[in-house]
Amino acid sequence: MKRNNFIKLFGTVVMSIAMLVTLVPFEATYACSGFRPGEFNNGVVNYNTPTSSANVELKWDQKLGQGWTAAPTPPTVGDDGYVYVAAGNTLYRLDKNTGEKLAPTEGLKLTDSVGFSTNPMAYADGKLFIQVGNGQVEGVDVSNPKELKHIWTSEKVGGQTISPIVYQNGYIYTGTWNGEGRPGTYICVNAKNGKMQWKHENKSAGYYWAGAYVDDDYAYFGSDSGDLVKVNAITGKVANTANVGKEQIRSTIVKYGNSLYFTTKSGNLFKVDANDFSNINKTDIGDMATGTPSIVDDVVYIGAANGSQFSADAGHKFLTYDVNDMEKSISSVISPGYPQAAPLVKDGQDENFAYFTYNAPPGGMKVLATDDYGEIDKSSYEDLFVPEKSGQQYCICPIMVGKDGTIYYKNDSGHVFALANKDSQKESGLNNITLTGAKMTPGFDKKVDKYDVTLDNGRNSFDLTLDLAKGAKATIDGIAYNGKTTIDLGKDTSKSVNVQVIANGSSKTYVLNAHKQENNVLTSLKIVNPTNGNVIGVNPVFDSMTNSYEAAWTNPVKLFRIQNFIPNKDYVGSVTFEVETKNSNVKPKFSLTNIKGKTSEATLGEVKASNGKHYVTVNFTGNTSIAFATPGSEKDDIDAGNINNAMDVVVHITVDHNTYNVTLPREVKSNLVYNM
HEC profile of 481-502:
CCCCEEEECCCCCEEEEEEEEE
- What's the CATH number where 381 sits? 2.130.10.10
Handedness of CA 620, 621, 624, 628 (dihedral sign): positive
Do residues 483 and 436 lie in contact, with contact meaning Cβ atoms separated by under 8 Å?
A: no
Q: Does residue 473 sit in the same domain as residue 395?
A: no
Q: What is the pTM of this model?
A: 0.63
Q: Does residue 274 sit in the same domain as residue 315?
A: yes
Q: Does residue 161 sit in the same domain as residue 290?
A: yes
Position 371, amino acid:
D
Tens of pLDDT along 225-267?
999 999 999 999 999 999 999 999 999 999 999 999 999 999 9
Q: Does residue 462 sit in the same domain as residue 577?
A: no
Q: Does residue 471 sit in the same domain as residue 342?
A: no
Q: What pLDDT does residue 310 have?
A: 82
Q: What pLDDT does residue 218 have?
A: 96
Q: Does residue 640 sit in the same domain as residue 498?
A: no
Tens of pLDDT along 66-117?
666 678 999 998 878 899 999 999 999 999 888 999 989 999 999 999 988 8
Q: Does residue 24 sit in the same domain as residue 80?
A: yes
Domain boundary among 484, 515, 546: 515
Do residues 600 and 576 lie in contact, with contact meaning Cβ atoms separated by under 8 Å?
A: no
Residue 164 DSSP one-character state: P
In the chain, which residues have pLDDT < 50? 1, 5-32, 37-38, 554-572, 597-600, 622-646, 667-676
Please report, for the chain, how many H helices and E strands are present, in that order: 2, 55
Interatomic CA distance for residues 282 and 244, integer angstroms: 9
Residue in 271, 324, 325, 315 with CA at minimum distance from that of residue 293: 271
Q: Does residue 509 sit in the same domain as residue 556?
A: no
| Cross-strand pairs, 131 | 137
Instruction: Look at the chain and report how many structural domains it folds into.
Output: 3
Tens of pLDDT along 594-649?
665 434 457 788 888 888 888 988 876 544 334 333 333 333 333 333 333 445 67
Domain boundary among 364, 386, 421: 421
Q: β-strand 149-153 against 407-410: which pairing, if any?
A: unpaired
Interatomic CA distance for residues 636 and 673, integer angstroms: 9
Residue 573 DSSP one-character state: E
Q: Does residue 570 sit in the same domain as residue 470?
A: no
Q: Does residue 343 sit in the same domain as residue 464?
A: no
Q: Does residue 375 sit in the same domain as residue 482?
A: no
Element (H, E) at 592: strand 589-595
- Residue 94, domain extent: 3-421
Q: What pLDDT does residue 546 have?
A: 78
Give the full edge-to-edge strand order of the sheet including 136-141: 122-124, 127-132, 136-141, 149-153
Q: Does residue 381 sit in the same domain as residue 454?
A: no
HEC profile of 338-393:
CCCCCCEEEECCCCEEEEEECCCCCCCEEEEEECCCCCEEEEEEEEEECCCHHHCC
What is the per-residue burial (b if ≥16 Cβ within 10 Å, else e) of 595-605?
eebeeebbebe
Domain boundary among 421, 451, 472: 421
